Amino acid sequence: MKPAPFVHHAPRTLEEAVAVLGEVGHDGKVLAGGQSLIPLLSMRLASPAHLVDVNGVAGLDAVEVTDTHVRVGALVRHAGLERHDGAAAALPLLRQALRNVAHPAIRTRGTTVGSIAHADPSGEMPAVTVLTGGVVEAAGPRGRREIAAADFFTGPLETTLAEDELVVAVRFGLLPAGTRTGFVESARRSGDYALAGVALAVGMDGDVVTSATASFVSVTPVPDVLDLGPALAGRSVGDLPLDDVAELVRSHVGPESDIHAPADYRRMLAAELTRRVLTTTTTPTEGAA
Ligand SMILES: Cc1cc2nc3c(=O)[nH]c(=O)nc-3n(C[C@H](O)[C@H](O)[C@H](O)COP(=O)(O)OP(=O)(O)OC[C@H]3O[C@@H](n4cnc5c(N)ncnc54)[C@H](O)[C@@H]3O)c2cc1C
């Protein structure tokens, strides 16, 4: 099918984009990489009268690495962030997760901020956003505001962003020194959306775990953070209670059955993937000090 007719707006500045969004209100949609929106339009699952195409807006394509965060502008493509060595050094979880987002062709066009704004529970980057204590920077006719990731996602494809606001950037928080991260997911084919996925951050003091948090892909309605610290803190790498951790995950996630997999299978998968990523993340790599 073809999309229903729409007016294409091509603002050149953030101010122009915000002004157009303010005028068209709920009849408008921001167009970034189009990798989620264009299929929705083509299938007529969405038919906004106005598309506010932000691809020509100057100043939205930067990645900035500071002492506290990695700031990703709204036009940074998944592939650009994945290739960014400074971002990967500051927060390895970004590259670990981005490698799992779709296929390379889609990563070349789709934006990381777009996937967060889209708020698909099957997306990898919403899970990374909450796990790192991320912050969403929004702009709209009433000015600019910041929204903690924990308050941003409210349901599948639903956020606290107003219809006339756009996300200017997302800041991923850096994790405390010594934190190790891992990301693992299982999909039917490489590049497909995950049946289940896990992002993990583990604080270590030598071979003793001091803290551990996880967030999940495709098995929770909104990305949230599970604190595994009570089960793991103080335990050494050779003595991790993996069965307890798996049970915690099984009782935390709430997957739905769909055409791809039954809920029980996804629940089991999330638990087993957590067990696996915990083991690999806490095992010193060959040659490490
Ligand atoms: C075959 C296929 C497989 C895929 N597999 C995966 C996968 O495994 N994991 C995954 O995470 N994603 C996957 N995707 C989606 C891909 O990552 C998208 O690029 C991403 O979800 C949306 O980013 P986008 O820039 O393309 O946004 P668009 O498609 O342009 O927009 C998506 C939605 O977000 C809104 N939006 C976008 N940017 C902003 C902004 N700055 N401010 C406010 N609202 C905004 C739009 O209005 C729209 O509602 C897949 C896509 C395809 C086609």
pLDDT, tens only, 197-214: 999 999 999 999 999 999
Alpha carbon nearest to ligand 1 atom 47, residue: 30
pLDDT of residue 284: 75
Residues 6+ apart with CB under 8 A from 199: 93, 96, 97, 124, 127, 128, 131, 181, 182, 183, 214, 215, 216, 217
Q: Distance from the CA of 68 to the center of ligand 1, in angstroms? A: 26
Contact 57, 11 (CB under 8 A): yes
pLDDT, tens only, 169-194: 999 999 999 999 999 999 998 888 99
Ligand 1 atom nearest 193 alpha carbon: 8
pLDDT, tens only, 205-247: 999 999 999 999 999 999 999 999 999 999 999 999 999 999 9
Q: Distance from the CA of 31 to the center of ligand 1, in angstroms? A: 9
Which band of pLDDT confidence, cut at 50, 70 and 90, is reported for residue 83? very high
157: left (phi over 0), alpha (psi -120 to 50) or beta: left
Q: Which of 14, 30, 147 to mutate to test the pocket of ligand 1 (most atoms within 8 A of CB)?
A: 30
Q: Assess whether the C-beta atom of 113 lies below 6 angstroms from ligand 1.
A: yes
Retrieve residue 103's tokens: 């296929």
Q: Residue 253: in which H helix or E strand, if any? A: none
Contact 277, 198 (CB under 8 A): yes
Q: Assess whether the C-beta atom of 36 lies below 6 angstroms from ligand 1.
A: yes
Q: Distance from the CA of 168 to the center of ligand 1, in angstroms? A: 15
Q: Distance from the CA of 79 to the center of ligand 1, in angstroms? A: 13
pLDDT of residue 48: 94
Residue type, 266: R
Which band of pLDDT confidence, cut at 50, 70 and 90, is reported for residue 155? very high
